[in-house]
Amino acid sequence: MRRIAFLFLFCFAIAPAHAAEPPAPAPKFVVFFQEWSAKLDDAAVAVIGQAAASAKAHPGALAHVEGFADPTGSKKANALLTDLRAQVVMDQLQTDGVPVSRIVGRGHGSVRFALTSQEGRRVEITIGGR
């Protein structure tokens, strides 16, 4: 009986440990805007197209859209601008074939930036995650 228990423990000890692999990071796409603008330029439309393709490749994932602004201007104006930027990006995602039921978004108002104010004038699209 001891031999069987020893054999069992030995086999269990040498069995490879299968640690769960960490999940892949959610794909993230960034669209930049000019000051006080929510207009999409060609580069922005291209980035949104890439995000839409990623969303279609991950049919169970939501597209999270978050708008930001630089701190220039009033808090209220920046809140409205970031909501508008997020909505413009959500509309383009729909145009590119992502169902509205898979898109969630909101504006965050103004944010501080690290290097340039351009960093603040953005919308981030994350596919999945959260």
CATH of the domain at 85: 3.30.1330.60
**121 domain-assigned:** no
| Residue keyed to tokens 């809140």 | 79
Q: Output the CA torsion sign for 71, 72, 75, 79.
A: negative
Helix (H, G, I), strand (E, B) or coil at 125: strand
Range of the domain at 108: 40-59+70-112
Helix (H, G, I), strand (E, B) or coil at 23: coil
pLDDT score recorded for residue 27: 87
If one counts the domains in the chain, the total is: 1
Nearest by Cα to 36 from 61, 70, 76: 70
What is the model's pTM?
0.80
pLDDT score recorded for residue 109: 93
* 77-118 tens-digit pLDDT: 999 999 999 999 999 999 999 999 999 999 999 988 767 888
